[in-house]
Amino acid sequence: MTNFTPSAMKYRDSATGFPKGWYCVAESSQVPANSIFPATYLDKDIVVFRDKDGKARIADAYCPHLGAHLASHDGRNDNGTLICPFHKWAFDGATGRCKSIPYTQVTPPVGLTMHPVREINDTILMWYSPSGAEPDFEPFDMAVFDSSVQWLKVVEKEFESTAPYRDLFENLFDTAHVQQLHNSLMQPDIATIDRTDYGMRVVFVPPGEGEAVQMKHLENNFIGTTMCARLIDGGSFAMKSLTSATPIDHERFKFKTRMYLRGMGSAEMNDSVGKMFAERVSMEIDQDFKVLNFKRRLDRPALCAGDGPILKFRAFQNEYYA
């Protein structure tokens, strides 16, 4: 039974920055029109909102006038115009530019610091680059996982993690732990690893007979090194999931997974299969983080035969760090 606190990250990971990429900072449902959604990620306070056309936007949270937080007190989104709570400076939601000040006719050429945004897969993503560069790839669209059918959400699990950030998705290449930690009857094998416009696609060899869940196809699509979209196809059933990991600071990141079941034609079957997957996914996530939250990132791990293509993932991951 773990009863101690993880050591500070400076003792467990040599990385000092965040990788470039698309980071989930809100669910689409969290940002209705005429609202301001405050968040803190990547050592930065931001606000997420919609402009007058309903397009998702992200800005630094502080007014350039005297530093008021735009979501504090009576700060508001007035049909796509952000109104500062302190002196009621008004900022255009689409451009961030200051458009009016109630007590002067002279509007200085200042504005909010805006960030590139994509809204996809029912999430709102913010682009981050250590060098300040513009986006150089687009996120993966889960609509390719058969958008013609009904997908029902059966899992939504969210929490803060103290795992070394670089070790999270590396865990999906550590095939040995599936058998040793999760008590799978067989150790999974990876069939193909392909680079893509959005990052990397990994296809697994379908497991043999004896496993609790039979699969015809399993693939992971890594959106850079910050998100992963998965498809599991068992023929008579199918599941897709989207997992995001967004650093809050250098000590913590927010982990969230969303899992969807392809509608099976009856509420009884949906409930039965959905419950089975929800329980299994939740159990395996809990098992992983009971270890991951306390791990140290080893730059030279003592790997052995059967450990999976961990170093191949590390080479891919390093491309996203400054």
Question: 148-183 pLDDT, tens per residue?
Answer: 889 999 999 999 999 999 999 999 998 888 777 777
What is the domain extent for residue 53? Answer: 17-128
Whether residues 240 and 286 fall in one domain: yes
Tell me the H-state helices in 70-213.
175-180
Whether residues 206 and 304 fall in one domain: yes
Instruction: Output the six-digit token pair for 106.
Output: 């002279």
**Portion of the chain with pLDDT greater than 90, in percent:** 79
Lowest mean pLDDT among 202-206, 291-295, 317-321: 202-206
From 73, 106, 128, give the residue that closes a domain.
128
- DSSP letter for 69, please: B
Q: Tell me: the pLDDT tens digits for 191-237?
A: 999 999 999 999 999 876 655 556 789 999 999 999 999 999 988 88
Residue 280 pLDDT level (bands cut at 50, 70, 90): confident
Whether residues 187 and 305 fall in one domain: yes
Whether residues 265 and 216 fall in one domain: yes
Give the CATH number of the domain where residue 87 resides: 2.102.10.10
Whether residues 208 and 298 fall in one domain: yes
Whether residues 150 and 289 fall in one domain: yes
What's the rounded Cα separation, in Å, for the pair 293 and 309?
A: 22
Burial class (CB in 10 A: 0-12, 13-18, 19+), 291: middle
Whether residues 159 and 114 fall in one domain: no
Give the CATH number of the domain where residue 260 resides: 3.90.380.10
Question: What per-residue confidence (pLDDT) applies to 235?
Answer: 83
Instruction: Output the six-digit token pair for 80.
Output: 């796509």
For the chain, the domain total comes to 2
